[in-house]
Chain A
Amino acid sequence: MLNKLLDGLLNPPPPKFHGVMGIWYYVDDAADAVKMLREAGHKNLNVFSPVPHHEIEHALEQGPSLVRWVTAVGGFLGATGGFALCYYSISSWPLVIGGKELFSLPPFTVIGYESMILIAGLSNLLGMLALARLPQLKQVAPYDPRFQEDRIGIWVPCDAATAARLESMMKGHGAEEVQVHA
Chain B
Amino acid sequence: MSDSVVFNRRDFLKLVGIGVAGAAAGCAKPPAEKLIPYLNAPEDILPGVAYFYSSTCRECPVGCGIVVKTREARAIKIEGNPEHPIGMGGLCARGQAGLQGLYDPDRVKSPMMKQGNAWKAVTWDEAITTVTAKLAEAKGKVLLVTGNETGSFRSLAGEFVAGAGGQHVMYEPFAYESVRAANAKTFGIGSVPRYDIGAARCVVSFGADFLETFAAPTNQARGFAAMRTKHDDGAGHFVAVEPRLSLTGANADEWVAVRPGGEMALALGMAHVILAEGLGSGVDAGLVSAFTPEAVANSTDVPAETIQRLARMFAKHRPSLAIAGGIATQSAEGTALVAAVNLLNFVVGNIGATVKFDRPLSFDGVASFAQFKTHIDAMAAGDVGLMFVHGANPAYATPKWAGFAAAAAKVPFKVSFTGVLDETAELCDLILPSTHALESWGDAESAGGVHSLQQASMRPVTVFNARPVGDVLIALGKAAGFGAAWPDAYFDYLKARWQPLHARYGAGRDFETFWLDVVKKGGVWEDAATPAVRWTGAPAFAAPQYTGTGDFSLLIAPSSHLYDGRGANKPWLQETPDMTAKAVWGSWAEIHPETAAKLGVKNGDALEVATDAGKAQLPAYLYAGIRKDVVAVSLGQGHTAFGRYAKDRGVNALDFVAQATDAASGALAYQGSKARLAKGTKAMPLYLQQAEKDQHDREIAQVIPVAALLAGAVGVGHAAEGHAVEGAHGAAKFPGHYPAGFGVHEPAEAMTRPGKFTEPLARPDSFQTPAHAITAYESKEKARSPRQNPVDVGSYKHAKHRWAMSIDLNTCTGCAACVVACYAENNIPVVGPELIKKGREMAWIRIDRFEEKLAPGANDVRFVPMMCQHCGDAPCEMVCPVYATYHNPEGLNAQIYNRCVGTRYCSNNCPYKVRAFNWFDYAAPEKTTFAFPEPLNWQLNPDVTVRSKGVMEKCTMCIQRILDGKGHAKDEKRELTDGEFTTACAQSCPTQAITFGDLADPEAQVHLKSFGERRYWVFEDLHTKPGVTYLQKIQRDSMSEGHA
Is chain B a partner of chain A in the same complex? Answer: yes
Residues of A within 8 A of B (CB): 91, 93-103
In the bound assembly, the distance between CA atoms of A96 and B873 in angstroms comes to 9
Task: Output the residue of B874, B880, B1025 with the most chain A CB within 10 A.
Answer: B874
Chain B, range 776-799, C-beta contacts under 8 Å to A? 786-787, 790-791, 793-796
In the bound assembly, the distance between CA atoms of A154 and B875 in angstroms comes to 67
Q: Is the CB of B886 within 8 A of A101?
A: no
Q: Is the CB of B1025 within 8 A of A99?
A: yes
Residue of A at shortest CB range from B909?
Answer: A98
Chain B, range 21-43, C-beta contacts under 8 Å to A? none
A-B contact pairs, 6 of them (CB 8 A): A94-B793, A96-B793, A96-B877, A99-B873, A102-B793, A102-B794
Contacts of B786 in A (CB 8 A): 96, 101-103
Q: Is the CB of A99 within 8 A of B793?
A: no
Task: Output the residue of A91, A95, A100, A102 with the most chain B CB within 10 A.
Answer: A95
Contacts of B877 in A (CB 8 A): 96-98
In the bound assembly, the distance between CA atoms of A96 and B796 in angstroms comes to 9
Q: Is the CB of A100 within 8 A of B791?
A: no
Contacts of A93 in B (CB 8 A): 794-795
Contacts of A102 in B (CB 8 A): 786, 790, 793-794
Q: Is the CB of A98 within 8 A of B873?
A: yes
Q: How far is the CB of A179 from chain B (nearest CB, A)?
A: 62
Instruction: Say whether B878 faces chain A, with CB atoms less than 8 Å apart.
Output: yes
Q: How far is the CB of B970 from chain A (nearest CB, A)?
A: 24
Q: Is the CB of A98 within 8 A of B874?
A: yes
Contacts of B787 in A (CB 8 A): 101
Q: How far is the CB of A172 from chain B (nearest CB, A)?
A: 70
Q: Is the CB of B795 within 8 A of A99?
A: no
Contacts of B74 in A (CB 8 A): none
Contacts of A98 in B (CB 8 A): 873-878, 887
Task: Name the one of B772, B794, B880, B885 contacting A99, with C-beta atoms under 8 angstroms.
Answer: B772
In the bound assembly, the distance between CA atoms of A50 and B651 in angstroms comes to 85
Instruction: Say whether B872 faces chain A, with CB atoms less than 8 Å apart.
Output: yes
In the bound assembly, the distance between CA atoms of A101 and B790 in angstroms comes to 6
- Given A95-B887, A97-B878, A101-B790, 10 additional A-B pairs, CB 8 A: A95-B794, A96-B794, A96-B886, A96-B887, A97-B874, A98-B875, A98-B876, A98-B887, A99-B1025, A101-B787
Q: How far is the CB of A109 from chain B (nearest CB, A)?
A: 16
Residue of B at shortest CB range from A95?
Answer: B886
Instruction: Say whether B119 faces chain A, with CB atoms less than 8 Å apart.
Output: no
What is the total number of residues of chain B having a CB less than 8 Å from a CB of chain A?
A: 22
In the bound assembly, the distance between CA atoms of A33 and B793 in angstroms comes to 74
Interface 0/1 of B874-900, CB less than 8 Å to A: 111110100101110000000000000
Q: How far is the CB of A92 from chain B (nearest CB, A)?
A: 10
Q: Is the CB of A94 within 8 A of B794?
A: yes
In the bound assembly, the distance between CA atoms of A91 and B790 in angstroms comes to 14
Q: Is the CB of B790 within 8 A of A100?
A: yes
Residue of B at shortest CB range from A104?
Answer: B786
Q: How far is the CB of B409 from chain A (nearest CB, A)?
A: 68
Indicate whether A100 sits within 8 Å of B795 (C-beta atoms), given known contacts A95-B886, A95-B887.
no
Q: How far is the CB of A53 from chain B (nearest CB, A)?
A: 51
Contacts of B887 in A (CB 8 A): 95-99
Contacts of B1025 in A (CB 8 A): 99
Q: Is the CB of A96 within 8 A of B791?
A: yes
Residue of A at shortest CB range from B792?
Answer: A96
- How many A-B pairs have beta carbons closer than 8 Å: the answer is 55
Q: Is the CB of B883 within 8 A of A99?
A: no
In the bound assembly, the distance between CA atoms of A95 and B885 in angstroms comes to 10
In the bound assembly, the distance between CA atoms of A91 and B793 in angstroms comes to 11
Contacts of A101 in B (CB 8 A): 786-787, 790
Indicate whether A97 sits within 8 Å of B886 (C-beta atoms), given known contacts A102-B786, A103-B786.
yes
Indicate whether A97 sits within 8 Å of B872 (C-beta atoms), given known contacts A102-B786, A102-B793, A103-B786.
no
Q: How far is the CB of A95 from chain B (nearest CB, A)?
A: 4
Q: Is the CB of B874 within 8 A of A99?
A: yes
Q: Is the CB of A94 within 8 A of B872?
A: no
In the bound assembly, the distance between CA atoms of A57 and B805 in angstroms comes to 77
Contacts of B880 in A (CB 8 A): 97
In the bound assembly, the distance between CA atoms of A103 and B786 in angstroms comes to 9
Q: Is the CB of B886 within 8 A of A99?
A: no
Chain B, range 276-310, C-beta contacts under 8 Å to A? none
In the bound assembly, the distance between CA atoms of A95 and B886 in angstroms comes to 7
In the bound assembly, the distance between CA atoms of A94 and B1025 in angstroms comes to 21
Q: Is the CB of B793 within 8 A of A100?
A: no
Chain B, range 971-986, C-beta contacts under 8 Å to A? none
Contacts of B772 in A (CB 8 A): 99
Residue of B at shortest CB range from A101?
Answer: B786
Residue of B at shortest CB range from A99?
Answer: B873
In the bound assembly, the distance between CA atoms of A102 and B789 in angstroms comes to 11
Interface 0/1 of B994-1029, CB less than 8 Å to A: 000000000000000000000000000000010000
Contacts of A100 in B (CB 8 A): 790, 873, 878
Q: How far is the CB of B522 from chain A (nearest CB, A)?
A: 44
In the bound assembly, the distance between CA atoms of A103 and B790 in angstroms comes to 11
Q: Is the CB of B883 within 8 A of A95?
A: yes
Task: Output the residue of A93, A94, A98, A103 with the most chain B CB within 10 A.
Answer: A98
Q: Is the CB of A96 within 8 A of B790?
A: yes
Q: How far is the CB of B1026 from chain A (nearest CB, A)?
A: 12
Q: Is the CB of B874 within 8 A of A94?
A: no
In the bound assembly, the distance between CA atoms of A95 and B786 in angstroms comes to 11
Residue of B at shortest CB range from A89?
Answer: B883
Contacts of A96 in B (CB 8 A): 786, 790-791, 793-794, 796, 877, 886-887
In the bound assembly, the distance between CA atoms of A95 and B787 in angstroms comes to 14
In the bound assembly, the distance between CA atoms of A98 and B887 in angstroms comes to 7
Residue of A at shortest CB range from B1023?
Answer: A99
In the bound assembly, the distance between CA atoms of A93 and B772 in angstroms comes to 21
Q: How far is the CB of A111 from chain B (nearest CB, A)?
A: 12
Q: How far is the CB of B884 from chain A (nearest CB, A)?
A: 11
Q: How far is the CB of A160 from chain B (nearest CB, A)?
A: 69
Q: How far is the CB of B563 from chain A (nearest CB, A)?
A: 44
The 4 closest A-B CB pairs, nearest first, are A94-B794, A98-B878, A99-B873, A97-B877
Q: Is the CB of A99 within 8 A of B875?
A: no
Q: How far is the CB of A64 from chain B (nearest CB, A)?
A: 42
Residue of A at shortest CB range from B889?
Answer: A96
Q: Is the CB of B886 within 8 A of A94?
A: no
Contacts of A95 in B (CB 8 A): 794-795, 883, 886-887
Q: How far is the CB of B792 from chain A (nearest CB, A)?
A: 8
Q: How far is the CB of A99 from chain B (nearest CB, A)?
A: 4
Task: Output the residue of A100, A101, A103 with the most chain B CB within 10 A.
Answer: A100
Q: How far is the CB of A104 from chain B (nearest CB, A)?
A: 9
Q: How far is the CB of A74 from chain B (nearest CB, A)?
A: 26
Interface 0/1 of B881-923, CB less than 8 Å to A: 0010111000000000000000000000000000000000000
Q: How far is the CB of A156 from chain B (nearest CB, A)?
A: 60
Contacts of A103 in B (CB 8 A): 786
Q: How far is the CB of B725 from chain A (nearest CB, A)?
A: 28
Q: How far is the CB of A98 from chain B (nearest CB, A)?
A: 3
Task: Output the residue of B772, B786, B873, B885 with the most chain A CB within 10 A.
Answer: B786
Q: How far is the CB of A97 from chain B (nearest CB, A)?
A: 4
In the bound assembly, the distance between CA atoms of A96 and B790 in angstroms comes to 7
Task: Output the residue of A95, A96, A102, A103 with the most chain B CB within 10 A.
Answer: A96
In the bound assembly, the distance between CA atoms of A99 and B786 in angstroms comes to 9
Residue of A at shortest CB range from B880?
Answer: A97
Q: How far is the CB of B222 from chain A (nearest CB, A)?
A: 38
In the bound assembly, the distance between CA atoms of A101 and B791 in angstroms comes to 9
In the bound assembly, the distance between CA atoms of A69 and B829 in angstroms comes to 60
In the bound assembly, the distance between CA atoms of A123 and B739 in angstroms comes to 55
Q: How far is the CB of B573 from chain A (nearest CB, A)?
A: 37
In the bound assembly, the distance between CA atoms of A103 and B793 in angstroms comes to 12
In the bound assembly, the distance between CA atoms of A100 and B787 in angstroms comes to 9
In the bound assembly, the distance between CA atoms of A91 and B772 in angstroms comes to 22
Contacts of A99 in B (CB 8 A): 772, 790-791, 872-874, 887, 1025
Residue of A at shortest CB range from B873?
Answer: A99
Contacts of B795 in A (CB 8 A): 93-95
Chain B, range 839-888, C-beta contacts under 8 Å to A? 872-878, 880, 883, 885-887
